[in-house]
Amino acid sequence: MKKSLAAIVLIFILIITACSNNAGNNESDSEASGQEQNGQIDIQFGSPIDPNMEQAGQLEKKTGETLENNRWTKLFAEKNGVVTHYKLVNPQGDYAQKLKLSIASGDLPDIYIVTDKSDLKQLAEGGAIQEMGPIYDQYASPLLKSIIESESMKVFDPMTYDGKVYGVPAKMPSTNGYNHLWIREDWLQKLGLERPKTMDDLYHVANAFAKQDPDGNGKADTFGLGLHKDFLNGMKGLFWSYKAYPDFWYKNASGQIVYGSAQQEMKKPLELLARMYKEGLVDHEFGSNDESKMLESVVAGKTGMIYAPHWTAYSVEKTMENDPQAKWIVVPLPTEGSDPITIPLTNSTDGTYVVNKDFKHPEKLVEMLNTYVEALFGENADFNKYWADGDIDSVWTMSPVHTLDPSLDLKGHQDIKAALANQTTDQLTGVAKGFYKTMQDGVWGMSMMFGPEDTPFAFVDQTYPDQVMWSEYEGAPTPTMATNWSSMNELLSTEFTAMIQGKKNLDGDFDSMVQNWNKLGGTNVLEEVNAQAAK
Amino acid sequence: MSKAKSRAWKRELPMHLMLVPGLVLILLFAYIPMTGIIIAFQQFNPVKGLFGHQNWAGLDNFHYIFSMPNIWRVVGNTLLIASLKIACGMITAILFALLLNEVKNVAFKRVTQTIIYFPYFLSWIILSGIMIDVLSPSSGLFNQLLGVFGIKEIYFLGENKWFPFTMVASDVWKNFGFNTVVYLAAIAGIDPSLYEAAAVDGASRWKQTWHVTLPGMRMIIVLLMVLSLGNIFDAGFDQIFNLYSPQVYQSGDIVDTMVYRMGLLQSQYSASTAVGLLKSGVSFVLITSSYYLAYRLFRYRLF
Amino acid sequence: MRVIKRSGNHWFGIVNYLFLMLTGIICLIPFIHIVSLSLSDKAAVLGGLVKLWPVHFTWEPYSYVLERTAFWRSFGITLERVLIGAGLNIVLVILLAYPLSKPSHKLRLRSVYVWIFFFTMLFNGGLIPNYILVKELHMLDTIWALVLPGAVSVFNIILLLNFYREVPSELEDAAYIDGAGHMRTLWQIYVPMSLPAIATITLFCIVGHWNAWFDGMIYMKGNHYPLQTYLQSIVIKFDFNTMSVSEAQRLAKLNDRSVKAAQMIVAAIPILLVYPYLQKYFVTGIRLGSVKG
């Protein structure tokens, strides 16, 4: 009847008001942003932390610490008077999208990280963020400066517009950009082979691995070299041996900045891959297999050699669970000719920290970063506390801001190596202590990465930083890149794939491919990049 | 106002009140955001906000859309995938409705139905997770099975020539079981005396199916065909978004995924809104005309 | 039930049974495979050894999932969303379908209302205006962002109003003479007579809310993701290109198909439990308008 109808409408109104009240409560912390009380200031952060990550759950269970209330946030409260809140906190992939929506709705955090260089450009040019250059110069501690600027000053390029610096980079170890040659040492020994020193050796090893039945099952079911469709990115190391630098900006002999993937040097490594393809040394399905598919064949003990980054250790170690004899090592990248190898690296960062234009205390960002690096790398650092909690790693990411010493991983390796040689492993400190403990706990992947011999970091130690060539261009995508870059890259990777498969001829088709690439926008992009770099 | 009229109003009033909550919600969550369509006519700069001083672009964004090199490819993909889904989905569902109708063992019928309905209720998230695993070229179950028959492995989700058909087949897998329900209902509604008459005439089972069952379903079949015309631009965002990857954009990118990527990944907010608006406009014309057709042909009213 | 004996072809019957059985099995195989993965040892799974039966049987993936707080937190949010969201959906659909099921002479402005609702099926403002609206209503990161924007389902209204139309008008007239208002007529006559349709719609709403993921990704903070959004972020988004190096390292370490499989299974179980109960209403509950031939 009418009464019950009235009741329903009433209930409906109640629901609406209830939810807006409820929402109001939830919002209360954002209303408080920037307010100072007893010297404490509330700051809303934006950070791509995955709150669902396993480590966060483990830590909460163990110590009761949460994302907004943990050892890091306590440290910032104590040292910088900052109370941490998150306005944006989403896993990596979703964060960039959420940030774009926040930009459009004008609902930005006080201090946040920007991972997409185009967003950064838009924010800086639209006046939504503050100039940070002078503040960084004034407040950054010598330690923080040494960490952020240690590799190359180009690290500030993506955040520099009209000569003003609009943020502070979240520096990460660029040694992550290394690409290593992993080999099944047990197969080498079984077949009586030497470790490859030249690309010729590498070819012979691959040949033997594919043809001489290294797994001893009487079937020709093994591959010499793991190949997958993202070879341009995932197998860069192979190209480096030939002085070819795919997906990398460097100066050629005449001082022009050029794009590595479209240079003549690419021909020789592609030729090698095409030959291996023709002779059946690599997976004929590589054009459709991604890296994780290739790793499946590695774990199944069917592939004896791969190019991959150091953290692939966690994947290749699983080979041993299916074949206890398996032993993977990393050897220095082979060379072609007499020149030592050159490693092309780009400044590795996790993004750029920026400060909302309305936020009154931009210096807090720099001060917090000071605190952060002091706690991990300073003289009175308490590395073990702030890096990990026992076997729960990633504690270092549960901070609203972070930046790491670029030589962190390498130092860990060096210290462990020295300590093992001097038998002083009980005196290890800092990173190395943490690493070594994890290794002792039987995390085999750690030993494969940071151990003293035949590991990725043994190779890094040989070459970093003396044999490193730094990228000449790290700025935001140029206008042509913004619109055409993906189709330009598509062209390169499909053509290269066809060349390896023998469907296209390397000598003839390479040049016409470069021409097409230039037509698609390559010429413009090169002009734009060179002009930008000249500024 | 006459007394009778005012009484009629009084009688009607509660019904209008019943509509109030729904209308408020729809006004709030559908019509207010529609003002955002103006983005399509601006050079939208998100930093300035929706109500900030945006520069007007007139129809530039629409010109831009049609100058994009891949626009017709994307439209073509959408139409191909959507129409194949409609056609294959219908044929499969009708076939299974007919076959299930022949089954007399009630338990068997129930179990079979339960099994084939089941995927309908799972999200594309879960089904995509399963498909990514099962269709994997190296370790996937499906390719291992093909291997038994001597067929070389196929990268169903990574090759342009396979991707659209993988989408169609998996969509049929998810939905056909449920769609059989609609047709089974139609079959159940056929007057039994028609079968009696046919049986008296000595018609075989085939003949009965052909002359009684299928004509009895004709109406619903044609009706659903007409109505699905309106969905010809819906190739299934949830499914494709979770299964595609850059290497199959050529054959698998559809209007909805393109709108999403342009808007949220490439920051081309205005152009992306314009594409969405065009799609809505075309769908609107198609759907209204298909409903008009349904009304003219069958006196069918959806509302 | 039809009881007429139809002169049958014996062979056809057998082939038919076999064919249907085979189809059923094919439909089940992917699920059996995923269940097997979830009950197998990590190394066996990574080596691609698991097919339709677990290899090195273990409950470990499940005990791992059981202990995963993030999984259960998302599970709880989804449960809350299903209860509030589906409840609201159903109340609204029952209320809205009633006036709209009336012919125009019994409800003035009916065609205006119909157009208002129908129009929203086709046009929407896009992501950004919706996001701004939800933000302005202070509903970001609350359950209401997941529940209210989709509270009115026009499709379900259509389903139900066509059912309502089947209710004989004599019943309504009799009730009117008894002095019953529209509200009472609705609850005492229409709703009981439309139970199959309401049950079907209930199932649609539950499943819809259970399976929704996109709005969770857009409106919620990472620690408040509903279950499917959470699953999407771990099962499907595995794109190393858009990932920072530290994230890639972490995931390389965690890449674990059996745990993923176990989480998918646990996320599917509630649906598995609900739908057989409501299944019996399908055949009668789905009627897309009346066809008068």
List chain A residues with CB under 8 Å of B69: 487
Determine the pLDDT at residue C91: 94
How many angstroms separate the CA atoms of C125 and C127, rounded?
Answer: 7
**Nearest-CB residue to C120 (from B30, B220, B242):** B30
Nearest-Cα distance to chain B for A18, in Å, is: 15
Contact A333, A237 (CB under 8 A): yes
Determine the pLDDT at residue C250: 54
Query: Span B267-287, mean pLDDT?
Result: 87
List chain C residues with CB under 8 Å of A2: 181, 183
Bridge-based pairing of strands A40-47 and A82-89 is parallel
List chain A residues with CB under 8 Å of C248: 311
Buried b / exposed e along B133-160 (16+ C-beta atoms within 10 A): bbbbbbbbbbbeeeeeeeeebbbbbbbe
**Nearest-CB residue to C68 (from A27, A57, A348):** A57
Cβ–Cβ gap B123/C129 under 8 Å = no
Cβ–Cβ gap C233/A24 under 8 Å = no
pTM equals: 0.82
Handedness of CA C165, C168, C170, C171 (dihedral sign): negative
Tens of each residue's pLDDT in chain A, 535 residues: 444 555 555 555 545 444 444 443 444 344 445 666 777 899 999 999 888 888 888 888 889 999 999 999 999 999 999 999 999 999 887 898 899 999 988 889 999 999 888 889 889 988 999 999 999 999 999 999 999 998 888 899 889 988 899 999 999 989 989 999 999 999 999 999 999 999 999 999 999 999 999 988 888 889 999 999 889 988 999 999 999 999 999 999 898 999 999 999 999 999 999 999 999 999 988 887 778 778 888 988 899 999 999 989 988 888 888 888 899 999 999 998 888 999 999 988 889 999 999 999 999 999 999 999 999 988 888 888 898 887 787 889 999 999 999 988 899 999 999 999 999 888 887 778 878 888 888 778 889 999 999 999 999 999 988 999 999 998 888 888 877 787 788 889 889 999 999 988 888 899 999 999 999 899 999 999 999 888 7
Determine the pLDDT at residue B69: 75
DSSP chain B: --HHHHHHHHHHHHHHHHHHHHHHHHIIIIIHHHGGGGGGGEE--GGG-TTS-PEE-TTHHHHHHHHSTTHHHHHHHHHHHHHHHHHHHHHHHHHHHHHHHH---HHHHHHHHHHHHGGGGS-HHHHHHHHHHHT-TTT-HHHHHHHHTTPPP--TTT-TTTHHHHHHHHHHHHHHHHHHHHHHHHHHTS-HHHHHHHHHTT--HHHHIIIIIHHHHHHHHHHHHHHHGGGTT---HHHHHHH--GGGHHHH--HHHHHHIIIIIS--HHHHHHHHHHHHHHHHHHHHHHHHHHHHHH-----
Determine the pLDDT at residue B240: 93
Contact A245, A472 (CB under 8 A): no
Determine the pLDDT at residue C252: 54
Give the residue, B50 or B202, on which the prediction is more confident. B202
**Domains of chain A, start order:** 32-172+349-397 (3.40.190.10), 177-344+471-476 (3.40.190.10)
Is residue A251 classed as helix, strand or coil in its secondary structure?
strand
Residue among C236, C241, C257, C287 with most chain B CBs within 10 A, to mutate: C236
Determine the pLDDT at residue C175: 84
Chains that touch B (3 or more CB pairs under 8 A): A, C
Cβ–Cβ gap A4/C142 under 8 Å = no
Query: Which residues 11-70 in chain C show a CB within 8 A of chain B?
Result: 12-13, 16-17, 19-21, 23-24, 27-31, 33-34, 37, 48, 51-52
Say if B143 is an interface residue toward chain C (CB within 8 Å).
no
Say if C209 is an interface residue toward chain B (CB within 8 Å).
no
Q: Give how far Cα B299 sits from Cα of A273, A360, B189, B219, C118, Å.
A: 67, 67, 18, 11, 19
Tokens read off for A464: 């970093």
Confidence band, pLDDT 50/70/90 cuts, at residue C134: very high
Residue with tokens 């299903």: C82
Assign residue A429 a region: left if phi > 0, alpha if psi is -120 to 50, beta otherwise? Answer: beta
Q: What is the pLDDT of residues C245-277, one digit of tens each?
A: 555 555 555 557 788 888 888 888 888 888 777
Determine the pLDDT at residue C255: 54
Domain C63-285: give its CATH code: 1.10.3720.10
Domain-by-domain residue ranges, chain C? Answer: 10-58, 63-285
Per-residue DSSP letter, A175: G
Cβ–Cβ gap B155/A289 under 8 Å = yes
Query: Which residues 237-256 in chain B show a CB within 8 A of chain C?
Result: 238, 242, 245
A512 contact partners, CB below 8 Å, separation of at least 6: none
HSE value, Cβ hemisphere, 13 Å, CA-based, for A179: 24
**Nearest-CB residue to B155 (from A118, A128, A288):** A288
**Domains of chain B, start order:** 3-58 (no CATH), 66-298 (1.10.3720.10)
* CA-based nearest residue in chain C for residue B140: C48
Q: Is C270 exposed, middle or buried (0-12, 13-18, 19+ CB in 10 A)?
A: middle
Looking at this protein, which amino acid is placed at residue A491? L
Determine the pLDDT at residue C243: 45
List chain A residues with CB under 8 Å of B48: 126
* CA-based nearest residue in chain A for residue B155: A288
Residue with tokens 């992009």: A525
ipTM reported for the complex, 2 dp = 0.84
Determine the pLDDT at residue C1: 40
Cβ–Cβ gap A126/B48 under 8 Å = yes
Query: Which residues 101-140 in chain C show a CB within 8 A of chain B?
Result: 102, 106-109, 113-114, 116-118, 120-130, 132-133
List chain B residues with CB under 8 Å of A290: 158
Cβ–Cβ gap B30/C124 under 8 Å = yes
**pLDDT at residue B223 greater than cutoff 50:** yes
Nearest-Cα distance to chain B for C224, in Å, is: 18
**pLDDT at residue B287 greater than cutoff 70:** yes
Determine the pLDDT at residue B189: 78
Confidence band, pLDDT 50/70/90 cuts, at residue C8: low
Query: Span B31-47, mean pLDDT?
Result: 87
* Residue-level length of chain A: 535
**pLDDT at residue C174 greater than cutoff 50:** yes
Say if B283 is an interface residue toward chain C (CB within 8 Å).
yes
Determine the pLDDT at residue C249: 56
